[in-house]
Chains A and B, each alone.
Chain A
């Protein structure tokens, strides 16, 4: 799908109109440097009820001080997306309430994803002193005639006289290096400031210099708990662009592996949620069972966490002879164990008290923040890509989309538990019918994509994982963008956390189920 170009002036009226017409889900907001033609942004919109997709793009010819009006009041998730684009392309979003860099340090020179970015180390040496925490936000006036506004006043994000506490970057409950700055009133949270970028590796920037098969190695390192799905999405996107038909057998293997990965991820979710709430025994139970999936992965792919299994045109190696038997045994085993988790943790009175009614995310907010995956479905949003835009074999198998209504921590937890069962159900339908055939289609040694823009998305373990490629006909992409699953989830914490307690932050963080390398990329 190619985006429709519109004028900067038209952007806000059009977007507002589209939003009121039901295009309420901003799937992704992609910054691109089109070189001579200027810098720009692609907006990928979707109608959350009909699944209709639209793409619009705006371009700003001024490379010195590119400015585009913000849409973060229309789709709340745009607040972080726009900060990302500002960080990487230097596009200033007028009207954005808090335009700071999202990933890089405040004292970083230049905007790295621009094509004219100066990579010399003299500009950005390895800085040995700590970053000074920037505590100001710079609101821009929204000028309807697109006359660019200036920084007119500076407001503190967090005031010095508040009791400020850091959760992270090194903290047991953030599951990685994410940092929340909390302003507390006693135990209650008054304000939260999210700081990402502690594990940012610039995968999108790196990809622009790598060939397509080389890029594949990076996807497993995004969200390591949806390694298969991530790579599936990228392979699917490249195959779609090349017009490559993959075999039925590959489709079966990919679908089964995706679902195994989902169970793996949800088991880890369950374990870590229990751990965060202090139930260490359940944590061990979850890891005990997850080990069995990892063993299957190890046998088939050679890797446990980073599997490098999907390749362009198929999968790296055929499944092993005992694979089907092992998976079936595992499915039977796992079904029984779910009851154990429920007995010891899910139905525990303390768990219920800590989760029910805590961290409620309404349906409208879930869509506005773009919280896909289990989090969205817990709020009642049927956002499963497997149902919305079926890929691989998902239109052939029978499975339920698990949807809960309340959108609180408990529902987010239950969604995942039920999805484990649903995934087992999908695997059991497929495992006996894997057709004979090639596991891989032969491709040319050097893969070039035709000119154009291509995108694909899959249902990752914690939401919609999208790939966007702009190709200029080369061996490597002109621009590659991954839609993070975790960034919208973290963005929604602003909303959920108001008035919650520190202990709730942990429960909310655990049940939102974000993975930091996927947020930071």
Chain B
């Protein structure tokens, strides 16, 4: 199967031949960062457009139709509007933290994003504890949200931030448990290896019942992690106007907005990597002709296809359910998801030990 390693190695060799080793490294770093950020922004735009159209479809509407054909330029117009807006500074806010918060949120999301394996070899960070790194990087986003709420000198923001802290820290546990299930099943924490192993069968099939339960819990907890309905309490526009980002304007608000969408992409991306085989195609044992055809579909299409399918699932939930209340959110996590997750972990361990997996 085609691997992007060939291309990256070629570029690496070319740079090393024209530049000293140090210089080549710097140029590569810049190139990689540029590509990652570009991909990040492009996907954000796609996601925002998708959200609008999916939401419109659920609500018997058309969504944006005026700007560009089928509203295709709407998101660009929005981004442009956001860019030319003034970034307002708030009286008696904590200047440093207030301005730092959106960057923290975006940083955590970009870091996590760079771990996603888009295709074979198309991955920025890949090392032996990749899964662990993803969890660490994604969980410091909550710090940005807490700081944003704290430093805004606004009571709505403060309540939003505190809710967000309670919620995200709780649901981190469930996510951890679900990821552990996969780690136990695969025996590795390296993301490229995880995907490679799934070429012979996706983990959701190989791990059967416990993997499926983990997948569902992961989707619920992931939804909560991204602060989207029914878990959008930190924003809760009908209660707290806009929650933790009430006081942000212009691109600072834009960062929160983009980070929220990209966190959704990341959650979906990780779900598809861990459970649905990442860029690995769908093989059905015994149907060789079918498997050969599947091989012709490039890995990146597989990855994006699966990811957008999961995103669509999450959007479906988002546009169907009402918002939960904070005590229900916390009790759902601590009374239901964590016990189920722990038992599920036990079952998976048992299955692996007894060899009951495929």
Interface residues of A (CB under 8 A from B): 163-165, 171-173, 187, 274-282, 284-285, 288, 344-345, 348, 350-351, 353-354, 501-506
**Is the beta-carbon distance between A281 and B326 smaller than 8 angstroms?**
no
**Is the beta-carbon distance between A187 and B326 smaller than 8 angstroms?**
yes
A281, B296: Cα distance in complex, Å: 40
The prevalent SS among residues of A at the interface is helix
A282, B156: Cα distance in complex, Å: 26
Select one of A163, A171, A345 contacting B322, CB under 8 A.
Answer: A345
**Is the beta-carbon distance between B322 and A354 smaller than 8 angstroms?**
yes
Given A278-B232, A501-B327, 16 additional A-B pairs, CB 8 A: A163-B155, A165-B155, A187-B326, A275-B238, A277-B238, A278-B229, A278-B238, A280-B319, A281-B320, A285-B60, A348-B322, A503-B236, A503-B323, A503-B325, A503-B326, A505-B239
- Given A187-B159, A284-B59, A501-B327, residue A172 in contact with residue B238 (CB < 8 A): yes
21 cross-chain CB contacts under 8 A: A187-B326, A274-B322, A278-B229, A278-B232, A278-B323, A279-B322, A279-B323, A281-B59, A285-B59, A350-B321, A353-B325, A353-B328, A354-B322, A354-B324, A354-B328, A501-B325, A502-B159, A503-B233, A503-B325, A506-B238, A506-B239
With a cutoff of 8 Å between Cβ atoms, the chain B residues found around residue A506 in the complex are: 238-239
**Is the beta-carbon distance between B239 and A350 smaller than 8 angstroms?**
no
Chain B nearest CB from A277 CB (Å) reads 4
**Is the beta-carbon distance between A278 and B159 smaller than 8 angstroms?**
no
Select one of B156, B230, B319, B323 contacting A281, CB under 8 A.
Answer: B319
Interface residues of B (CB under 8 A from A): 55, 58-61, 155-156, 159, 163, 229-230, 232-233, 236-241, 319-328
A350, B223: Cα distance in complex, Å: 15
Chain A nearest CB from B171 CB (Å) reads 16
Chain A nearest CB from B64 CB (Å) reads 15
- Given A288-B60, A350-B230, A353-B328, residue A277 in contact with residue B323 (CB < 8 A): yes
Select one of A275, A281, A504 contacting B325, CB under 8 A.
Answer: A504
With a cutoff of 8 Å between Cβ atoms, the chain A residues found around residue B238 in the complex are: 172-173, 275-278, 506
- Given A350-B230, A502-B159, residue A277 in contact with residue B326 (CB < 8 A): no
- Going nearest first, the 7 A-B pairs with the smallest beta carbon separation are A278-B323, A279-B322, A277-B322, A284-B59, A503-B325, A173-B238, A276-B238
With a cutoff of 8 Å between Cβ atoms, the chain A residues found around residue B155 in the complex are: 163-165
A278, B236: Cα distance in complex, Å: 8
- Given A187-B159, A278-B236, A503-B236, residue A344 in contact with residue B320 (CB < 8 A): yes
**Is the beta-carbon distance between B320 and A165 smaller than 8 angstroms?**
no
A160, B119: Cα distance in complex, Å: 59
Chain A nearest CB from B81 CB (Å) reads 21
With a cutoff of 8 Å between Cβ atoms, the chain B residues found around residue A274 in the complex are: 322
A280, B229: Cα distance in complex, Å: 10
**Is the beta-carbon distance between A501 and B60 smaller than 8 angstroms?**
no
Closest to A276 in B: B238
Chain B nearest CB from A442 CB (Å) reads 47
A274, B321: Cα distance in complex, Å: 10
Closest to A505 in B: B239
A282, B319: Cα distance in complex, Å: 9
With a cutoff of 8 Å between Cβ atoms, the chain A residues found around residue B159 in the complex are: 165, 187, 502
With a cutoff of 8 Å between Cβ atoms, the chain B residues found around residue A165 in the complex are: 155-156, 159
Closest to B325 in A: A503
Closest to A283 in B: B59
**Is the beta-carbon distance between A172 and B322 smaller than 8 angstroms?**
no
Chain A nearest CB from B31 CB (Å) reads 42
Chain B nearest CB from A354 CB (Å) reads 6
**Is the beta-carbon distance between B322 and A350 smaller than 8 angstroms?**
yes
**Is the beta-carbon distance between B324 and A350 smaller than 8 angstroms?**
yes
Chain A nearest CB from B312 CB (Å) reads 15
Chain A nearest CB from B309 CB (Å) reads 20
